[in-house]
Structure 1
Amino acid sequence: MGALFLGFVLSVFSLFLLLINSILFVSKVKKINNSTYSYVATYLVILFIVELFCNTIGYLYPGQNFYLSHFYFNAQFILLSIVFYRLFKSHKLKKLVILNYVIVTFIILGMYIYNNQLFWQFNLFEIAMTSVLLIIYALIHLSNTMGTKKKYFYLSVGMILYLLCSSLIFLFGNYELVFIEDPYIDIWIFNTLFYIVYQVFIFVEWNYINKNGLDD
């Protein structure tokens, strides 16, 4: 019971941090007037909405909110793909981002059409491919910006750390496997802890942008 309560408290706290970051980013959209920044702000708002529903349904109906993971991962994939598309200077990389998105999205849609029961479960392909591609994009961006202005540096680092942890946990594939019974450990707590770390990096990113501004 203690572990469950701790997990719930951490989850609510991470949701609160996401809300704060969403408000901070949205509050500066007009002032900063940068399209990439606006997509990041949109990403945070949409994720907050999905997380809010996920936490609410998970609390009221434990184990029945798995289908929301599809909205989470796909919203994250499309919005961050747009962000990296805009950050990349190479036309080849831009085309690769578009190609990857189209291919992965069509495969995912095909999987749900072929087996609609998959909608109510974790989709391992969806989790793995969307996360791995975003991690690769973030690593490329970090490599491209070495020695230059830290444009979305903290966001990228936080995202890499979180997605590595999150994807591994989600890839367990079902509710039962994320609990170790003896001793009892809720592995989802680690996911929430890394999500909190991610939110801290996002706040640092906002603070950096707020102080230094952004180039187009």
Structure 2
Amino acid sequence: MHLYLVKFGYILLLLNFILYAIKLRGKNDAYKVFAFYLLVILCVQVIARILKEKGLDNLFLSHVYFMGQFAILSLFYLKLVKDPFQQKAIKIGFVLVLSTLIIQYGLKPEMFFKFNLYEIFITSFLLIIYAVFHFYNMLDEKKEFYYINMGILLYLFASTILFLIGNLTTKFSKDLSMITWTLNAILIIVYHLFFLYEWKVSYFRTKAINSN
């Protein structure tokens, strides 16, 4: 079951990238950054899959995933928020987090081939804060990227808890560990369904209305 869920998640990721890519022309910077995020995540997943099928270690790609996700989505939110304090907070968070991670891997290169809970927590935690910024701003502004923001907030919050719990369960039971990864696969599907729904209500529907 876990394998089927993972494959379905891959399909949704590919579908979302294609849909957002074909609507790229004429869109704002935030949209383009988000489409680039989908491309990067897709590439990471493809490379990880290839390495796994060849029997090679792909754990190091988790760092590319989390750091890349943090960097690109930080830029995404920087393009969205207009409040100077929020923009400054995002810029400072970007520099501090990536700097500490680079220093950590520089001092302990072996960490690059291990699961880094600090990396998962700090990158996800700050992105959750940025998502809350955007929700707050949407109280008085246009509800732009509403479902994307909802998906990011829910997925990062739930997946971070799962990863923290999963790290503990791997020490006790492989079955519990598999449950954690299965739940994460389900979360990824929900994550991409939010993106798909955003495309449907914000872009597909707009085209349909304009064509009438």
For the criterion TM > 0.5, the same-fold answer is yes
- Structure 2 residue 109 is matched with structure 1 residue 119: no
Aligned match of 2:137 in 107, 124, 144?
A: 144
Aligned match of 1:17 in 1, 12, 16?
A: 12
Q: Does the C-alpha gap of structure 1 residues 179 and 35 become closer, same or farther in structure 2, counting only changes over 3 Å?
A: farther
The number of residue pairs the alignment matches comes to 206
Task: Determine the structure 2 residue equivalent to 1:204.
Answer: 197
**Which residues of structure 1 form unaligned runs of 5+?**
1-5
1:34 maps to a residue whose letter is N
Deviation at 1:58, TM superposition (A): 3.3
Deviates more, 1:35-44 or 1:204-213: 204-213
Relative to the length of structure 2, the TM-score reads 0.88
Aligned match of 1:35 in 25, 29, 32?
A: 29
Name the SS of the counterpart of 1:171 in structure 2.
helix
1:167 maps to a residue whose letter is T
Name the SS of the counterpart of 1:186 in structure 2.
helix
Deviation at 1:147, TM superposition (A): 5.7
1:39 maps to a residue whose letter is V
Q: Does the C-alpha gap of structure 1 residues 182 and 70 become closer, same or farther in structure 2, counting only changes over 3 Å?
A: closer
Deviation at 1:160, TM superposition (A): 1.3
2:142 maps to a residue whose letter is K
**Which residues of structure 2 form unaligned runs of 5+?**
208-212
Q: 2:69 and 2:200 mapped to 1: Cα distance? A: 22
Q: Does the C-alpha gap of structure 1 residues 135 and 178 become closer, same or farther in structure 2, counting only changes over 3 Å?
A: farther
Task: Determine the structure 2 residue equivalent to 1:3.
Answer: none
Q: Give me the identity figure in percent.
A: 33
Task: Determine the structure 2 residue equivalent to 1:101.
Answer: 94
What do residues 155-191 of structure 1 show as CA deviations (whole Å, max 9, x unaligned)? 1111111112222233357597188446784310100
What do residues 84-134 of structure 1 show as CA deviations (whole Å, max 9, x unaligned)? 111111111111101111011110000001100000011111110100000
Equivalent runs, 1:1-216 vs 2, <5 Å: 6-30=1-25, 32-61=26-55, 64-146=57-139, 148-172=141-165, 177=170, 180-181=173-174, 185-210=178-203, 211-212=205-206
Relative to the length of structure 1, the TM-score reads 0.87
Q: Does the C-alpha gap of structure 1 residues 184 and 40 become closer, same or farther in structure 2, counting only changes over 3 Å?
A: closer
Q: 1:12 and 1:179 mapped to 2: Cα distance? A: 27
CA contact (8 A) 1:178 1:188 kept: no
Deviates more, 1:140-149 or 1:186-195: 140-149
What do residues 135-168 of structure 1 show as CA deviations (whole Å, max 9, x unaligned)? 1110111121026432111011111111122222
In proportion to residue count, which structure has more helix?
2
Q: 1:154 and 1:99 mapped to 2: Cα distance? A: 26
1:198 maps to a residue whose letter is Y
